[in-house]
Structure 1
Amino acid sequence: MSSRPPEPAAPALRADARRNREQVLRTAQQLFATEGLGVSLDEIARRAGVGPGTVHRHFPAKEALYLAVAIDELKQLVAEGTALIATGDPAALFTLLARMMANGAENVAVKSALLAAEFDLRTAAPDVAADLTRNVADLLDRAHAAGAARPDVTADEVMALVAGAFAAIRHANAETSRERSAHIAELILDGLRARP
């Protein structure tokens, strides 16, 4: 993977500009997942209900939009992980991992485009990637303490298995089938659960 420096921090946006940017990200994420990466920036603008200039101002190239969508998805997963930590549920690890794998299956086109462009999210958004790994580690510690997860598995191994799940889902051509991708994810999660 390329060791490109992380994207510079965006300047603080006005509330309306922030809402527009978030709407563009949500719309792009949905369109990329359902219609593929061929959808134009102008079509994303139209469906997001903003002008083309708004999209082009925030994302001058499609690759910038791919990266922003992927980072936004990571931030959503971090928020979900933080909420799951607050529940105290020892099985919350499996909930977060299932969501991470589903997210990867839904957004395989974006992730593939980033790989092709040699973008590594861990390099592009190291703080967000570290937060997600920390959430997984905290949930794994809780699952270990409750006897819900195999005692010999580490957080790094769990993250490697999630990355492997994306490859397995892609290999099985299961990206467009929630049932098939969820089944593959469940097979992987079963291997992480403690045995009686």
Structure 2
Amino acid sequence: MSSRTPDRTPAEPVTPPGDDRGLRADARRNRERVLRTAQRLFAAHGLGVPLDEIARRAGVGPGTVHRHFPTKEALYLAVAIDRIRRLVAEGEALAGTGDPAALFTLLSRMTASGAENAAVKSALAAAEFDLRDAAPDAAADLTHQVARLLDRARRAGVVRHDVTADEVMAIVAGAFAAIRHAGEDAGQERSAHIAGIILDGLRPR
């Protein structure tokens, strides 16, 4: 008989990547810990971190990770979707501040997030995952938050009047590409500088 201690975590239902609705409170907490830990480890050590190591660092059993994320691709997708939803929440919070330049704050955070998760997004692209198809509601919610802040910035005269929300999203995607082109050694400071140069094009002439 094996002396290995089994994973005693009660069985948790498998949920679609990025969706924790319907989970028990303890299962939701476990899932959140796994996502936060995976984000940190991927950013620090790349995508080769084993699922079992993520489980150990998150303080849960390997079975818990595999139930929520049966494959590495499922975890990559959940990490990316979770980050979009966190940006949506940041957009909602910024909308409540009344700051007319809050659009630039959100866009800066979006570019920083994109730079941090570039490897995750590249892995999803290689696996032929499109976030807009995999999480259309989250993507639409983020665009909506950008549009809200863009409208306020326009009224205050801190952004060009001839730019649309879709164009802003395209500009952010362009900033991601520029940061990736700068290479992995660009660092946060240089990445922020590159993003700032690009986002300055949104300001009134």
Normalised TM-score (structure 1): 0.93
2:26 and 2:174 map into 1 onto residues whose CA distance is: 39
Whichever of the two has the greater Rg, that structure is 2
The residue that corresponds to 1:61 in the other structure is 71
The residue that corresponds to 2:118 in the other structure is 108
1:80 and 1:173 map into 2 onto residues whose CA distance is: 27
Give runs of ≥4 in structure 1 deviating > 3 Å.
6-11
The number of residue pairs the alignment matches comes to: 190
The residue that corresponds to 1:121 in the other structure is 131
2:48 and 2:17 map into 1 onto residues whose CA distance is: 24
Correspondences of 1:12-23 after superposition (within 5 Å): 12-23=22-33
Gaps of 5+ in 1: 1-5
1:74 and 1:8 map into 2 onto residues whose CA distance is: 10
Candidates 108, 122, 127, aligned match of 1:98: 108
The residue that corresponds to 1:32 in the other structure is 42
Candidates 136, 143, 148, aligned match of 2:153: 143
One-letter identity of the residue aligned with 1:181: S
Cα separation, partners in 2 of 1:85 and 1:8, compared to 1, 3 Å: closer
2:112 and 2:204 map into 1 onto residues whose CA distance is: 22
One-letter identity of the residue aligned with 2:35: L
CA RMSD of aligned residues (A): 1.5
1:8 and 1:141 map into 2 onto residues whose CA distance is: 29
Cα separation, partners in 2 of 1:7 and 1:18, compared to 1, 3 Å: closer
Instruction: Specify the SS of the correspondent of 2:129.
Output: coil
1:148 and 1:8 map into 2 onto residues whose CA distance is: 34
1:70 and 1:7 map into 2 onto residues whose CA distance is: 9
Cα separation, partners in 2 of 1:47 and 1:87, compared to 1, 3 Å: same
Gaps of 5+ in 2: 1-15
One-letter identity of the residue aligned with 2:70: P
Q: Give the structure, 1 or 2, with the largest relative contact order (CA under 8 Å, sep 6 or more).
A: 1
2:98 and 2:117 map into 1 onto residues whose CA distance is: 29
Q: In the alignment, is residue 48 of structure 1 matched against residue 48 of structure 2?
A: no
One-letter identity of the residue aligned with 2:53: E
Cα separation, partners in 2 of 1:157 and 1:61, compared to 1, 3 Å: same
Normalised TM-score (structure 2): 0.89
* CA deviation after TM superposition for structure 1 residue 105, in Å: 0.5
Q: Work out whether residues 71 and 125 of structure 1, in 8 Å CA contact, stay in contact via their aligned partners in 2.
A: yes
Identity over aligned residues, as a percent? 77
1:105 and 1:8 map into 2 onto residues whose CA distance is: 20
